[in-house]
């Protein structure tokens, strides 16, 4: 079983996740519903944000941008919409397909500006695939329906989160994360529903001068065991640790401290 993802997979997943999301949107969908995991937004804002993020990245890749654009997709979005839900869903799907087509045309090794180290479309393909996964999770939480994700996608999503969160640049963007460092501060996350070849164990090591992580099963100050999708939702800040889905042993206060400092995505 191949549990890795490559550039082509990320491009395809952008479309697939957008289609899964919009399949839940119909004419009866309440676009004014507040998104529990992003309480500053209603559902219309969430969908608009994701669609604009797709189009923002598409333009960067298509124009081979060499410097940051003057604005971002994270602008304040109007809370109300007169647009029919189905039309907004179609617009979102269209943007996802446009982005995937542009990424495929550019290829993984074109040189472009990226907000974090990479300098190629590889960064955006992976980031937008997972951005779409997590905002689909936000939408399903809002709509009160089940969220499931392919294990291969969830594994890659968690790996990317660990990789980006451990970059030295994160201390520049979030100086308060230095407060996480300290002796004996380690966290272990284990998926309980994956085959052995998935190696679904992550150790977060805060004992050195940097935020570090590795795929390994080792003793830690606090350990969290749960199904893979539940781990994904916890680490991305979409589910509380006390929801009952998690088997937590050890220093629960360290877990809460870490989760509060590393919110992302």
Q: What pLDDT is stored for residue 73 in this prediction?
A: 46
Residue 156, pLDDT score: 97
pLDDT in tens, 4-15: 999 999 999 999
CA atoms of 164 and 152, how far apart (whole Å): 18
Q: Whole-angstrom Cα distance, residue 158 to residue 5?
A: 12
The CATH number, out of the four listed (3.30.1050.10, 3.20.20.140, 3.30.70.120, 3.10.20.30), of the domain defined by the range 156-261? 3.30.1050.10
The average pLDDT across 53-57 equals 94
- Closest to 125 (Cα-Cα) out of 94, 100, 98: 100
Full-prediction pTM beyond 0.85? yes
Rg (the chain; Cα; Å)? 19
Identify whether the C-beta of residue 234 lies closer than 8 Å to the C-beta of residue 263.
Answer: no
For 101-138, the pLDDT digits (tens) are 999 999 999 999 998 888 999 999 999 999 999 999 99
- 265 — pLDDT class (breaks 50, 70, 90): very low
pLDDT for 248 beyond 90: yes
Query: Residue 89's pLDDT is what?
Result: 96
CA 194, 199, 202, 203 dihedral sign is positive
101 class by beta-carbon count within 10 Å (0-12 exposed, 13-18 middle, 19+ buried): middle
The domain limits of the chain are: 7-147, 156-261
Q: Are 241 and 248 in contact (CB under 8 A)?
A: yes
Overall CATH class of domain 7-147: mainly alpha
Q: Of 193, 103, 90, whose CA–CA distance to 149 is shortest?
A: 193
Nearest-angstrom CA–CA distance, 210 and 168: 7
Of 117, 114, 102, 220, the residue nearest 166 (C-alpha): 117
């Amino acid at each position: 079983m191949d549990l890795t993802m490559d550039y082509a997979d990320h491009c395809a997943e952008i479309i697939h996740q957008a289609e899964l999301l919009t399949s839940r949107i119909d004419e009866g969908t309440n676009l004014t519903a507040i998104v529990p995991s992003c309480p500053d937004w209603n559902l219309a804002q969430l969908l608009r944000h994701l669609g604009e993020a797709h189009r923002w990245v598409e333009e960067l890749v298509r124009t081979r941008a060499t410097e940051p654009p003057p604005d971002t997709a994270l602008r304040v979005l109007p809370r109300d919409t007169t647009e029919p839900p189905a039309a907004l869903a179609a617009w979102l799907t269209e943007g996802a397909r446009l982005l995937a087509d542009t990424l495929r045309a550019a290829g993984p090794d074109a040189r472009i500006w990226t907000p974090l180290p990479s300098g190629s479309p590889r960064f955006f393909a992976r980031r937008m695939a997972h951005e779409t996964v997590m905002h689909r999770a936000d939408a399903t939480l809002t709509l009160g329906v089940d969220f499931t994700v392919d294990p291969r996608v969830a594994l890659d999503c968690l790996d990317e989160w660990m990789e980006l969160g451990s970059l030295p640049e994160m201390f520049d963007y979030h100086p308060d994360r230095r407060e996480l460092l300290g002796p004996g501060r380690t966290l272990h996350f284990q998926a309980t529903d994956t085959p052995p070849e998935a190696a679904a164990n992550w150790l977060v090591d805060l004992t050195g001068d940097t935020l570090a992580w590795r795929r390994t099963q080792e003793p830690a100050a606090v350990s969290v065991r749960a199904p893979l999708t539940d781990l994904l939702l916890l680490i991305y800040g979409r589910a509380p640790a006390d929801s009952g889905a998690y088997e937590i042993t050890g220093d629960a206060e360290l877990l809460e401290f870490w989760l509060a400092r590393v919110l992302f995505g």
